[in-house]
Structure 1
Amino acid sequence: MDEGMMTQDERRMGFGPEEGTQRGKGLYYVHTLGCQMNVHDSERIAGVLQAQGYRPASPEQVRARNVDLMVLNTCAVRENASKRMYGTIGRWARLKQENPTAQIAVGGCMAQKDRDRIARQAPWVDAVFGTKNIGDLPVLLERARRDRRSQVQVSDRLEAFPSDLPTVRASRSSAWVSVSVGCNNTCTFCIVPQVRGRERDRPIADVLAEVESCVAAGAREVTLLGQNVNSYGYSMGDRQAFPKLLRACGDIEGLDRVRFTSPHPAAFTDEVIAAMAETPNVMHQLHMPLQSGSDRILRAMRRSYRSKRFLSILDKVRSAMPDARITTDIIVGFPGESEEDFQETLDVVERSRFSSAFTFEYSPRPGTPAAAMDQVPKQVVQERFERLLALQERITQEELDAFVGRDVEVMITARQGRHDERTHRVTGRERGGVLVHVGVPQGLPVPAVGDLVTCTVTGVGKHYLTADPDPMRGQAYDIRG
């Protein structure tokens, strides 16, 4: 999954009210590491806790460590996420020293993978729960309080979809909706199948019911989530289920925007492209993980496509949707990668014209086949990473520069934008997913969260656009609530 696509607020998932909120069963805080799937799981964690009487801590209470429960929802995709997890729970140990009745819980992918190690190395952690055990968290906390020792509950089998649990949405205007859990692929670098299990799909009626519920609660935008979102339905024997789902979302009144992440090239069919192009509220935004442009490395990764197939998909998408914005993931320095292999990746990136790319230096994950392969020297990986980053930064800037003078539709988000005395900017994303800081012309209304603003782009920053329109010069500024 593409962690890099999210803002810091989307990853942090601090559910904070005003300072005067009653404590209820206790004040809690959820800190999220990782991808959109983890962010959505944190919404479930918050929902389960609040259903049991816990109350969210305000940001001020978190900073003052005036909190009764700290929950860390972890990622296991890269080594850095593992280091961040152990570093975070190490810092949180001070909370227990200052307040022995406070509790700490660790969940998510690292908890699924390192359950025993966490309990052994961090005995101050009260509860360790797996990706399939979110609903068990309140019981584990009660047991830890009663027995005065760590509780571990990690199931390898999915008994019920997390979507059946209560949810506290981080945003009123945008919502995540899971269509499936798990992954059936066997990529040699990836640990997700081990920690999330095999792919299981939700019935389409359940997915649509949740989407409709989100819209009824005020959401104007929904992002469909799955480890391989476009293979939705395959486990149910329906290979047309995902394009059917996209088209069905187009019939939901009040749903202005539909996105999805992350698809897999192997299952990206012409029917999916047609559904994207022909359904008005499906955004022409695509995050398509490349991982490598070398066919030899793709084989070593056990990725079930080759560069020619990948590029043909992009050509078809752009033929059907010329305005499509395509982003990707790329791993640099996969075991055995030669300079020739890396040059092939550069060639594919140049040809693909990605709007942005989330590039990662390969890090071995214990238990994956790639961890036992011959590793590329660190200094070589770093040098290649910098070359790839420079290439993609140039392309990204060129793609953003093309927006200047164009009118874009921006959905204002829950996060405050960059303000200054002249423009009083607010922030949102245009239809392709680009972050836009919108200045409010003097004397005109300030858009509310969830409003759609059509505005003229007047400037470009690094990875974002600015729109400070002047209606007197014919530039657009129009709010649709």
Structure 2
Amino acid sequence: MRVYIETYGCALNKSDEALMVESILREGHVLVNSIEDADTFIINTCIVRLDTEYHMVKRIRELYEVASRTGKKLIVAGCMAKAEPYTVLKIAPEASLVSPQNSALITEVLKTRGKIVLIDGLRERDRIGIHVEDRIAPIPIQEGCLSDCSFCITKHARRILVSHSIDAVVKAVERAVRNGAVEIQLTGMDLGTYGLDLYKTRKLPELVKEVSRRVSGEYMVRIGMINPEHLRHILDDLIDAINESSKVYRFLHIPLQSGSNKVLSVMRRNYSVEEYIEIVNEVKSRIPGVSIATDIIVGHPMEDEEDFSETLKVIRELEFERVHLAGYSIRPLTYSASLPQVPTRVKKERVLRALQVIEEVGLKIRLKYIGKEVECFTTEHSNTWICRLENYIPVVVTGKGRDPALDYGRWIRVLVDNATFFDLRGRLLESK
């Protein structure tokens, strides 16, 4: 059978696609690059935001129309299949549904001519999909969330905590490095919960140490998102794990969401602004040169102008290296959707104001590097080389042509001569 796959969304979805691809090829089927050449279409969906869901609905309708007209098969996979099966079947009543947890069973659906619904059951532990793209490999170490944020629909698609064993993750990283990956991204819904289901204790620091110790090769590890309520339990050990390894970026992604304690309470985030600031300051004081990324939601229900101002204040105070900013997006099946909503006009205006502050802070951080010689790790190449500082800030290596001394997975010395909000710019001095 000839199979066409479209995948949207996060690194976990890309890993699920990898599981599907492995199963499809193992059973002797063929992957194709267009719906015209395919017998079966698979759309691996994301619904984290309202505009994303609108796009999913539009695309499912388009694929279903083609499938119905040509007698081909449509499979809707991913988070929408699990969290909103009623919506999928309303617009594509004869489509088959496969939840993220059943991605490896995709060939069971391919075997049958009729509609199959596989949306129950748990993820198979230690079966990890390896997806290497542009020398970067997201490696899922866990799925599931122990929090109950009032704005989140993803928890309905990936609720149950399933951690992959340390040995399985190490083997997955080894495979990725053998396949050419130079950047390993340890990913999941909340890495601070890693190990609680399997080992009855949080094991992220130990995992980071084991990957660094046991996997040889030229690569760097980026640790994924950790919610503050879980990070505080492993903070000391994780700081030690980062400081002890030369293969781990001095970088942490710690979502704040709001700088207002009132809004954090409405969001059902289990920490205060003061606790968050204390965590970040502790990290900065103990990991030299560390950079912090965060998530901010603007315009969440109950946010007033004072709450928004408090958020801007924290952004300025903590000087985040990167902020993933989003205007609040109403989601079904969530408590926040039932609350009085901030007007769209106000949300848009606050997003623009927040972006201005974020860009000012980001540029301020990067301007400090101008005129300095830095070491960075080569990870990407198109027209120019892109490398990462030890704290994950990107550096574009300027110059004409491709230097023969450059290659993927090398530490090089660069003189920084320019900076933007997005990155640093510099010229090659030498490579190791």
Please report the TM-score for the alignment, with normalisation by the length of structure 1: 0.82
2:204 paired with 1:242: yes
Q: Distance in 2 between matches of 1:448 and 1:67?
A: 37
Aligned-partner SS, 1:31: strand
Q: Distance in 2 between matches of 1:441 and 1:325?
A: 30
Match of 1:75 in 2: 46
Match of 2:243 in 1: 277
Q: Are the equivalent residues in 2 in contact too, given 1:408–1:457 (CA < 8 A)?
A: no
Q: CA deviation at 1:43?
A: 1.9
Q: Are the equivalent residues in 2 in contact too, given 1:335–1:373 (CA < 8 A)?
A: yes
Match of 2:119 in 1: 154
2:424 paired with 1:477: no
Q: CA deviation at 1:348?
A: 0.7
Q: Distance in 2 between matches of 1:428 and 1:89?
A: 38
Q: Are the equivalent residues in 2 in contact too, given 1:47–1:168 (CA < 8 A)?
A: no
How has the CA–CA distance of structure 1 residues 426 and 220 changed in structure 2, closer, same or farther, with 3 Å as cutoff?
Answer: closer
Match of 1:262 in 2: 225
Q: What is the letter of the counterpart of residue 87 of structure 2?
A: R
Match of 2:55 in 1: 84
Q: Distance in 2 between matches of 1:176 and 1:443?
A: 27
Match of 1:9 in 2: none
Q: CA deviation at 1:154?
A: 0.8
Match of 1:232 in 2: 194
How big is each residue's C-alpha offset from its partner over 1:329-375, in whole Å with a ceiling of 9 and x where there is no partner? 11111111111111111111111101121111111211111111111
Q: Distance in 2 between matches of 1:240 and 1:129?
A: 30
How big is each residue's C-alpha offset from its partner over 1:140-197, in whole Å with a ceiling of 9 and x where there is no partner? 1231xx23xx332211x30513x526x4523374322222111111111112221112
Q: Distance in 2 between matches of 1:106 and 1:429?
A: 37
More displaced 10-residue stretch of structure 1: 319-328 or 439-448: 439-448
2:401 paired with 1:411: no
Q: CA deviation at 1:115?
A: 1.5
2:31 paired with 1:56: yes
How has the CA–CA distance of structure 1 residues 356 and 186 changed in structure 2, closer, same or farther, with 3 Å as cutoff?
Answer: same
Match of 1:365 in 2: 331
Q: Which runs of 5+ in 1 are unaligned?
A: 1-24, 420-424, 470-475
Aligned-partner SS, 1:234: coil
Q: Distance in 2 between matches of 1:349 and 1:443?
A: 38
Match of 1:10 in 2: none
Match of 1:39 in 2: 14
Aligned CA-pair RMSD: 2.4
Give 1:28-427 correspondences, 5 Å limit: 28-57=3-32, 61-62=33-34, 65-93=36-64, 95-96=66-67, 100-123=70-93, 126-143=95-112, 146-147=113-114, 150-155=115-120, 157-158=121-122, 160-161=124-125, 163-164=126-127, 167=129, 169-171=131-133, 173-236=135-198, 238-252=200-214, 253-254=216-217, 256-268=219-231, 269-406=235-372, 407-413=374-380, 416-417=381-382, 419=383, 425-427=384-386
How has the CA–CA distance of structure 1 residues 371 and 446 changed in structure 2, closer, same or farther, with 3 Å as cutoff?
Answer: same
Q: Are the equivalent residues in 1 in contact too, given 2:144–2:158 (CA < 8 A)?
A: yes
Q: Distance in 1 between matches of 2:116 and 2:154?
A: 24
Q: CA deviation at 1:443?
A: 8.2
Q: Are the equivalent residues in 1 in contact too, given 2:98–2:118 (CA < 8 A)?
A: yes
Q: CA deviation at 1:89?
A: 2.0
Q: CA deviation at 1:276?
A: 1.5
Q: What is the letter of the counterpart of residue 378 of structure 2?
A: M
Q: Distance in 1 between matches of 2:377 and 2:81?
A: 38
Q: Distance in 2 between matches of 1:132 and 1:427?
A: 35
More displaced 10-residue stretch of structure 1: 235-244 or 377-386: 235-244
How big is each residue's C-alpha offset from its partner over 1:185-213, in whole Å with a ceiling of 9 and x where there is no partner? 11111122211122122222222232233
Please report the TM-score for the alignment, with normalisation by the length of structure 2: 0.91
Q: CA deviation at 1:91?
A: 3.2
Q: Distance in 2 between matches of 1:49 and 1:430?
A: 38
Q: CA deviation at 1:256?
A: 3.1
Q: Distance in 2 between matches of 1:70 and 1:347?
A: 48
Q: Are the equivalent residues in 2 in contact too, given 1:356–1:396 (CA < 8 A)?
A: yes
Aligned-partner SS, 2:239: helix
For this pair of structures, how many residues does the alignment match? 427
More displaced 10-residue stretch of structure 1: 444-453 or 324-333: 444-453
More displaced 10-residue stretch of structure 1: 43-52 or 356-365: 43-52
How big is each residue's C-alpha offset from its partner over 1:249-302, in whole Å with a ceiling of 9 and x where there is no partner? 221222531112111111222221222122221111111110001011111111
Q: What is the letter of the counterpart of residue 117 of structure 2?
A: V
Q: Distance in 1 between matches of 2:200 and 2:68?
A: 54
Q: Distance in 2 between matches of 1:45 and 1:182?
A: 20
How big is each residue's C-alpha offset from its partner over 1:101-135, in whole Å with a ceiling of 9 and x where there is no partner? 54332211111112232123124x64221111112
Q: What is the letter of the counterpart of residue 468 of structure 1?
A: R
Q: Are the equivalent residues in 2 in contact too, given 1:172–1:217 (CA < 8 A)?
A: no
Q: Which runs of 5+ in 2 are unaligned?
A: none
More displaced 10-residue stretch of structure 1: 282-291 or 41-50: 41-50
Q: Distance in 2 between matches of 1:282 and 1:263?
A: 16
Q: CA deviation at 1:323?
A: 1.2
How has the CA–CA distance of structure 1 residues 95 and 458 changed in structure 2, closer, same or farther, with 3 Å as cutoff?
Answer: farther
